[in-house]
Amino acid sequence: MRKLSIDYVNFIKECWIHASVRANLLLDQMVHYNSAVIITAPYTHASPLFVVLYLPEPGYEEAPVGEELMEWLNIHFIEPSTEEGDHLSSLKSPWEDETFWPYLTRATLRGLSKASVFFFKMLSGHPSEDLQHFAETMTSIVSSQPRLQNFAAERDFAYASRRWKDKVKSLRVDMDQVPEPDRLDSFDNWWDRLSDIVGILEGRGEVVQRVCVELGADWKEVCAAWGVFVDPRLRRQDLPDVVDRVLDEMPPDPTQLEDMVHTALFAGKPVDALLHASQLDQWLSAHLADIMEPLSMIADVSRDEISIRDQHILAYAEYLHSDPALWRITVDYMYSCGDVGKERADEVLVRVPLRLNDKPSTSHGGDEERIRAGNVVGVLKDVNQTCFDYQREAARRTVCRIAAQTLVREKDYGLAVSYCSSAEDWQGLGRVVDRVLDEYITSPTSFAQYASDIAPSLQNLSIHHPSSQGVFVHRLMFAVRYSNFQQLRAKHELQNAASDLVAMFRDDVVPKSWWAVTLCDAVDLLEYRSSLLFSATGAAELLGKLEEIFLEPSLEVDKKEALDRLKTVRLALARYFARSAVLST
């Protein structure tokens, strides 16, 4: 989990650097923009703090935390500023500047030993010999402050810290011997200023807190300094007690949500941290919750069957869903949230615009052509792959059904049949075939082309879906064979056409609703004068089907026009039998 959290932090840094550069470029283009802007994000502060407090390196769970807190504070809340240091270092007598002692005090408080030592050395030119002596001593003390990271064992660090504190106490004794009149220079009371710094090094909590207030620092700086100077062996589990004590005197600003997040994390209140984080930025609360749950920081309780972690993840996913283009990321988050999240993600997937009916553009024309060639690409491919990755077969089939419906509206029947079979939507397949057959009524020429488009699906169905529902597959088979029959007629291959017509009835391929239409197509073949195209058996089969139509009231052929046309078929058959009888004699 520590590695995952650090990866989060590093990813945030990269993204925010990129975003900051772009934002500052935009600001540079503004007419009234005159000053540099440093853009920061709240989660660039809170995420590293979470790692420091709750995900220490293995073996360091019980190690003191003060130095790590101070490092976090120095990285994310920089004080004192570099500009102040540059200004003071350029002065011949920096102690004459009103910002000198506040700068030196804060540099020492923040553990910035190099800056502190530099300015203590500059005090060697101060007119007070006492201060010169103390500054030299302070240079040695500050530069020799024990750091936990430099010790192999904590007990060695504790021993070194006690000896170091003894040096500070010795300095305090020497300072107390300075007469009151000698504690002033012509600019300030240097003794009081130095006394505050020594009080910090002594680890006097009241001095640390008072100095922070005077410097305009907040409770975070007090807590970090507490773990460095007041209680160098402060453990993570003991930090909430310190926080409570500090907050009694320096409460956080409730209007500053970022500060409230930090407060809750310092105080060991993860649920409160999530609450404030969700109000600040839903990305932050979602990813904090994602890490907190496996660490057992938030109870595995549920509200309406949704855990605390899932509540925050789903809230962020819904926020992402406000931009439909982010559907891929949205469902990734949702699918990590149990059954409720999976159901929501399925709903997102089936509503993703597939853009199958978009006109090909110059930049995307290749994908469009491949879609038309039957290759699943583009958005549809991504949706299908997502369904496969998360094993959401029901959602995938729904998406295929939606794609098929779109393609039917465009009369792209071949691809529509493919998607129906992929979805195992046999009723949908039947509707597609019905639409193709309807094309015969309006345009026989177009029907032939549409039927040829769906012909390859017959072989695919037999290979990939051998158990597919027969009634719908037979309807598809009829459309293909009926198209072949019409093509034979158009090519004047009448003998083959007649044989094919009888074979369709014999194989029980023709739906009953199409018997009348198919029999009407036989009239021209029956009345062909050059030869007899049907065998006696074949003609008898046609007559049998015709009689079934007249005897079956459920076929709804009681309309006068339909009956008249069927009477034409009966007459043609009668003539055909008469011709056959004459020729046979």
**Dihedral sign of CA atoms 81, 95, 212, 225 in order:** positive
Residue 452 in contact with residue 489, Cβ under 8 Å?
A: no
According to DSSP H, which parts of 80-189 are helical? 82-89, 100-109, 113-122, 129-143, 154-176
User: What's the total number of domains in the chain?
Assistant: 3
Indicate the residue among 315, 337, 359 that finishes a domain: 337
Q: What is the pLDDT of residues 249-284, one digit of tens each?
A: 999 999 999 999 999 999 999 999 999 999 999 999
State residue 470's pLDDT score: 55
The answer on 316 and 194 residing in a single domain is: no
Q: How many CA atoms lie within 13 A of 42 on its CB side?
A: 19
Burial of 429 (0-12, 13-18, 19+ CB in 10 A): buried
**Domain identity same for 222 and 287:** no
Q: Let me know whether 303 and 200 are in one domain.
A: no
Same domain, 196 and 329: no
Pair 159, 230 in one domain: yes
3-state secondary structure of 219: helix
Query: Do 80 and 160 reside in the same domain of the chain?
Result: yes
pLDDT digits (tens, 9 = 90+) for 89-102: 999 999 999 999 99
Question: What CA–CA distances, in Å, run from 106 to 207, 208, 216, 221?
Answer: 13, 10, 10, 10
Q: Tell me: cis bond preceding 56? Omega within 30 of 0 counts.
A: no
* CA–CA dist 555, 351 (Å, integer): 40
Same structural domain, 101 and 223: yes
Has residue 321 got a pLDDT over 60?
yes
Instruction: Specify the range with the lowest mean pLDDT, choosing from 166-180, 333-347, 406-420, 458-472.
Output: 458-472
Of 169, 133, 163, the C-alpha closest to 145 is 163
In a domain, 258, yes or no: no
pLDDT at 436: 82
The model's pLDDT over 383-426, given as tens digits with 9 standing for 90+, comes to: 999 999 999 999 999 999 998 888 888 888 888 888 888 888 88
**What's the confidence (pLDDT) of residue 25?**
47
Banded pLDDT at 373 (limits 50, 70, 90): very low
Which structural domain range is residue 171 located in?
Answer: 64-234
